Amino acid sequence: MKRKLSLLVILFLLLLSAMTGHALANYHLGDELAAVRASTAKFHLPEKAQAAGWDLVPGLDYCFENPGVGAMGYHYLNTSLLDLTVDAEKPEAMVYPPSPNGDLRLGAVEYIVPASSWDAAGNSQPPSLFGIPFHLNANLGVYVLHAWVWENNPTGMFEDWNPRVSCDPD
């Protein structure tokens, strides 16, 4: 009986330790995402981002949408940041979903690394941020990671497509 009780106590302590570690990891991620929000708060309007170097890029100057899955919005890129450096507080793109009245508001940020340069530098794994690996957008030739820091994404903070976003404001 005493042995069973000891085993239960050990299992409880292991479970508690695992849960605490997970909570600490989430707390740390919360701090990092709060820093992203703080660094991008001034860019809620596209005009503010444009004044600071982010803008629509010809060929990518449309609202990104995936019918049946969701949308992202308009991507304002700072092309001077397109390199191998990943800085959480300096995302390469600000993503503006249209609101129901058609106005653009900041919903997400996107981190972008040119795939050919990353791979040519001898990296065997994609870049990562917040412990999350980027994924390859083969059509654009870049590794990407979205962070929906200003708009709730029910499919996940780091998912590309947001089912709550539509390019059609109606």
Mean of pLDDT values over 83-94? 97
Cα–Cα distances in angstroms (integers) from residue 5 to residues 10, 19, 119, in the given order: 9, 21, 54
Kindly list the domain boundaries of the chain, sorted by start residue: 1-170
pTM metric for this prediction: 0.82
Length of the chain: 170
| Mean pLDDT value across the chain | 87
Mean of pLDDT values over 87-111? 96
Which pLDDT does position 29 carry in this prediction?
76
Please, which residues have CB within 8 angstroms of residue 136's CB and are 6 or more apart in sequence? 115, 126, 142, 143, 144
pLDDT in tens, 134-151: 999 999 999 999 999 999
Residue 71 CB neighbour total at 10 angstroms:
23
- H-run or E-run covering 63: none
Q: Which residue has the higher pLDDT, 90 or 168?
A: 90
Q: Which residue has the higher pLDDT, 99 or 78?
A: 78
Cα–Cα distances in angstroms (integers) from residue 106 to residues 66, 130, 150, in the given order: 19, 20, 6
Which pLDDT does position 130 carry in this prediction?
95
pLDDT in tens, 62-83: 999 999 999 999 999 999 999 9
pLDDT in tens, 3-58: 554 444 444 434 434 443 433 344 467 889 999 999 999 999 999 999 999 999 99
